[in-house]
């Protein structure tokens, strides 16, 4: 990861580069910044800059063997540590390294929630446990493979339990030669004070909305007003801005499909329903599950009698008209069976039911339920 890939934060980049130029790299540093500020990518870019054998004044070269290894997340002297869901088969960061790599390759900006989702359960808190700190102590004790620094990047040290913190503290206090600890934190208050006092602080401020807006226009091709909305809603949190952008795409997909589906069900058009089911079946399972949740929400809103315009999707006049005409078809007689049929479908989809058979079956049930207008 090169510095140029990171949005803004020029003063932080300059500070980091200066420490290398002036040979005053502190052996334990705490990159402290809010979610989506770029604190993690900055730590990785810093490591790459240190390892790079052909760096210039502003950045790593991106093409030397060291850079290539860092970019592939396979540099033998660069170690990562991060919160994981402790289980029998996953005891340390190494056990889920493939997921970590996937996360970083998807986007260098992500929230801890995004990470838990990648791990397969975004409702479960992660931990950096005692086995993990033992693993770190062992790795750090080894000689460096390439003869230079050994660098450990720990993301969210605030997720360490006390025992793990104490183990880490010991090696931070008496580090083996040429070892760097880059701790990347979002919450200073949760880090134990003894660790805080032994690390040098690198403050990474929240991004200014204007800088994020410019980036979204230039790199993501968003129109100015949309870029401004996302930068503003996310308050400069890049991870959140990216996830809002994704949600927006999903929301318009859901709305389009909901309207199409309900229209077909209402008309009992079997032929076109089968076409619709085929196209929905070809979307991924997550997309289908998300669509079903959206459908439940729309049924509920029909009962309440109004559709909330989310901040991200503004209903067109045609969509608004359809929904108003459609609302009376959802009523106290059919809301329960409709809710049940969607909930059931969700349940079976999660357990790998065939989406084609499942969605067609659901459609046929909705055909019948929709006729019960009061």
CA distances from 181 to 30, 77, 166, 256 (A): 8, 12, 15, 49
Minimal distance in Å, beta carbon 144 to Zn ion? 17
Residue 137: burial class (beta carbons within 10 Å; 0-12, 13-18, 19+): middle
Per the CB < 8 A criterion, the answer to whether 230 and 244 are in contact is yes
Minimal distance in Å, beta carbon 274 to Zn ion? 55
Q: Does 20 bind Zn ion (CB under 5 A)?
A: no
Minimal distance in Å, beta carbon 9 to Zn ion? 20
Minimal distance in Å, beta carbon 63 to Zn ion? 6
CB atoms within 10 A of CB 155: 24
Minimal distance in Å, beta carbon 68 to Zn ion? 8
Q: Which stretch binds Zn ion (CB under 5 A): 46-54, 77-85, 251-259, 322-330?
A: 46-54
Lay out the site mask for Zn ion across 65-104 (x = CB under 5 A, - = otherwise): --x-------------------------------------
The DSSP element (H or E) to which 346 belongs, if any, is: helix 335-350
SS3 category, 195: helix
Based on CB atoms, which residue is closest to Zn ion, 67 or 238?
67
Lay out the site mask for Zn ion across 48-67 (x = CB under 5 A, - = otherwise): ----x-x-----xx--x--x
78-81 and 150-155 strand pairing: parallel
Based on CB atoms, which residue is closest to Zn ion, 78 or 154?
78
Based on CB atoms, which residue is closest to Zn ion, 64 or 313?
64
Backbone phi, psi, residue 155, to 5°: -90, 125
Compute the Cα dihedral for 125, 129, 135, 141 and give only its sign: positive
* Helix 112-119 / helix 97-106 crossing angle, nearest 10 deg: 130
Q: Does 196 bind Zn ion (CB under 5 A)?
A: no
Minimal distance in Å, beta carbon 1 to Zn ion? 12
Chain positions contacting Zn ion, by CB under 5 A: 52, 54, 60-61, 64, 67
């Amino acid at each position: 990861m090169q510095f140029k890939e990171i949005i803004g934060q020029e003063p932080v980049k300059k500070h980091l580069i200066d420490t290398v130029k002036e040979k005053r790299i502190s052996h334990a540093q705490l990159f402290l910044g809010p979610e989506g500020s770029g604190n993690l990518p900055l730590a990785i870019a810093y490591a790459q800059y240190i390892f790079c054998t052909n760096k210039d004044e502003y950045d790593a070269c991106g093409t030397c063997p060291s850079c290539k290894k860092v970019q592939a997340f396979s540099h033998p002297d660069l170690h990562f540590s991060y919160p994981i869901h402790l289980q029998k088969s996953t005891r340390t960061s190494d056990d889920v390294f493939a997921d970590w790599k996937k996360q970083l390759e998807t986007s260098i900006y992500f929230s801890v929630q995004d990470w838990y989702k990648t791990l397969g359960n975004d409702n479960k808190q992660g931990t950096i446990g005692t086995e993990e700190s033992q693993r770190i102590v062992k790795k750090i004790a080894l000689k460096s493979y390439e003869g230079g620094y050994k660098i450990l990047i720990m993301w969210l040290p605030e997720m360490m339990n006390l025992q793990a913190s104490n183990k880490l503290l010991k090696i931070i206090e008496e580090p083996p030669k040429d070892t760097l600890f880059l701790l990347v934190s979002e919450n200073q208050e949760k880090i134990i004070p003894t660790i805080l006092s032994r690390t040098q602080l690198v403050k990474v401020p929240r991004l200014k909305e204007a800088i994020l807006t410019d980036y979204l226009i230039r790199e993501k091709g968003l129109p100015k007003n949309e870029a401004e909305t996302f930068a503003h809603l996310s308050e400069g949190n890049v991870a959140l801005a990216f996830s809002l952008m994704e949600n927006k795409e999903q929301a318009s997909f859901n709305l389009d499909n909901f309207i199409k589906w309900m229209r077909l069900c209402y008309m009992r058009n079997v032929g076109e329903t089968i076409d619709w089911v085929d196209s929905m079946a070809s979307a991924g399972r997550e997309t289908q599950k998300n669509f079903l949740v959206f459908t439940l929400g729309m049924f509920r809103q029909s009962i309440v009698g109004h559709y909330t315009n989310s901040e991200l999707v503004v209903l067109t006049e045609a969509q608004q008209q359809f929904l108003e005409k459609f609302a009376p078809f959802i009523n106290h007689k059919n809301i329960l069976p409709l809710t049940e049929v969607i909930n059931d479908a969700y349940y079976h989809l999660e357990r790998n039911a065939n989406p084609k058979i499942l969605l067609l079956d659901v459609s046929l049930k909705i055909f019948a339920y929709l006729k019960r207008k009061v």
